Amino acid sequence: MLTKLARVAVTVFAMALAGTTFALAATSATPATTVVAQETPAPKATPNPFSYSGYVRAYDFTRQNASSSAQGGATGQANQQSFNLGISLHGEYKFANSPFTAGASYLYANPLGACSSAADHAKGLPCVSNKQPATNPDDTIPGFQLSTLYEAYLQYKADGLYAKVGNQVINTPWANASDSRIKPAAFQGADVSYAIDKQFTVEASDYIRWENRTSSAFDKSTLLTSFPAGSPGVPSNTLVPGGQTIATDGFFYGKAGYTGLKGLTANAYYYGFQNIANLLWLDARYPISGSKLNPFVALQLGSEKNTGSAVLGKIDASVFGLQGGINVTPNVAVTLGYDTVPVKTDTVTLPAGFSCKGNSIAGTATAATGSFNYLLPTGGSGNCSSNANGTTNIYYGGLASPYTDSYATDPLFTTSLTQGMSDRRSPGNAFKAQVTFTSNDKRFSSYVTRAWYSYNNPAYAQATYETDFDALYRLNKVGKGAYHGFLVHYRYGERTQTTAGLPLFKYNRFQAEYDF
């Protein structure tokens, strides 16, 4: 396990290396030359060191969990609806004759109702005035106000070296922006990368705090060790001593990347989720030349085990994924994906306060019982069976994803709009087919997907199906750089589950946005 000293070294290295490179560039001796008289060139306009961008986003979300609101009221499965309106402003200042840049992003969001915080949402008594009647709020949007300076950083970029320190939005496979609502998630820490040559790059990062997409503050939490608005949070079998958050020290991240050999890309990643788990992740993609169909194959492999104080208990997961695709026409692409996460089994004697009931561990961790130290499958997946001798078989092996859990933004080939295997914290097998259409001018794009998830284990069988539709239209011309103008985005997801008694699940997102 990497020590805290190694994590501090990353931060120091990021700034020291950046500063050293800049100093050398500024103090290098200039060789003597012969002065030749020539015409003075016309002065050039000095570029503006300050740049800005941002968006205004209106978001409406509805989720049908039951055929009527009355049907789900007592069980907490009433239908849901939330609206929010947000503005994000981003500014950057590039220091003259320097590779240094300072930047910041601020977001304010208001649902135009009476809610100022998540605490205002008393279950069954939602305070949003503009929502549909007889529904609960959906705080994945969220349905309350946000006000946050989610980025504030200093950046260095020159000669293949890149370093960034401060509050920042990042995009790595298992810790990313998850920007599918009003605001992205952001991370606080340091990142440094270096391009060794045109083919090889290396990167190391250390992030000590984060701000989830429904929060206005950075803290030492994760989606698995707290109870953020709109997310299930800490498993019920895990003890939360003295409050609502199990504090952890963020994560360390390392990457080695390769690009070359007829378009092959391959990456190796390491995540050290402090006191939760260590994750090794590999991915590769290879385009097959010689065909107008532009076929490709892609591979992903992962291995994860609990580490340190293991605040979420035993984690022992492995994953294998395969994906392939072709362009049926220049505008239509088809992809097929498969992932498997093998089930693991332990036979144990359950501690007092816990039992195996209906193929699932029953009992909530308390100060008296302590935790039942396993990361268990959720969402209706079975996770146990009883033996005649009084012991219990525990079925586990799912991935722990501290920064994407319940967001459906992880990198698995089979993750859908509303779910994936890591969101269920469950082993299993999954297939996903997708057809994508993109117009010639790139202003319209759409896809349809069908996914199948099997969460079977020796004592329990369950299948879940999901069908999704996504359509995005940009009203203005699409160029090579960042898009500027209006866009509308609609997404629909529907699940079918074989488990008896589960509610309906129909999911609509509508987003209207102006980017500037």
Rounded Cα gap, residues 5 and 11, in angstroms: 10
Is the backbone of residue 409 left (phi > 0), alpha (psi -120 to 50) or beta? Answer: alpha
Reported as a pLDDT band with limits 50, 70 and 90, residue 67 is confident
pLDDT at 78: 78
Residue 370 zone, left/alpha/beta (φ > 0; ψ -120 to 50; rest): left
Q: What is the pLDDT of residue 138?
A: 85
Q: Does 2 score more than 80 pLDDT?
A: no
Mean pLDDT of 375-390: 92
Residue with the bigger pLDDT between 113 and 479: it is: 479
User: What mean pLDDT, rounded, does the chain reach?
Assistant: 88
Q: Cα separation of 187 and 388, whole Å?
A: 49
Tell me the per-residue pLDDT of 481-513, one tens digit each, with 9 for 90 and over.
Answer: 999 999 999 999 999 887 655 668 899 999 999
- Residue corresponding to tokens 């990167």: 203
pLDDT of residue 69: 53
The angle formed by the CA atoms of residues 211, 214 and 219, to the nearest 5 degrees, is: 25
Looking at residue 112, its pLDDT comes to 86
Q: Which of 121-130, 329-338, 366-375, 447-456 has the lowest mean pLDDT?
A: 121-130
| DSSP one-letter string for 2-18 | --HHHHHHHHHHHHHHH
3 state DSSP class of 72: helix
| Least confidently predicted of 35-39, 319-323, 389-393, 436-440 | 35-39
Question: Using 50, 70 and 90 to split pLDDT, how confident is the model at 132?
Answer: low
For residue 278, what are the contacts with CB-CB under 8 A and spacing of at least 6?
1, 270, 271, 272, 304, 305, 307
Give pLDDT, residue 357: 92
Please give the Cα distance from 143 to 358 (Å, whole number): 35
Mean pLDDT for 11-35 is 39
According to DSSP, residue 378 is labeled -
Tokens of 45: 């306009």
> CB of 308 within 8 A of CB of 1?
yes
Lowest mean pLDDT among 34-43, 360-369, 452-461: 34-43
Complete domains list, the chain, with CATH: 1-23+49-211 (2.40.160.10), 220-470 (2.40.160)
Residue-wise pLDDT tens digits, 145-173: 999 999 999 999 999 999 999 999 999 99
- Tokens 């996770």 appear where? 383
With a cut of 90, say whether residue 121 has pLDDT above it: no
For 338, other C-beta atoms within 10 Å of its C-beta total: 15
Residue 125 has pLDDT above 60, yes or no: no
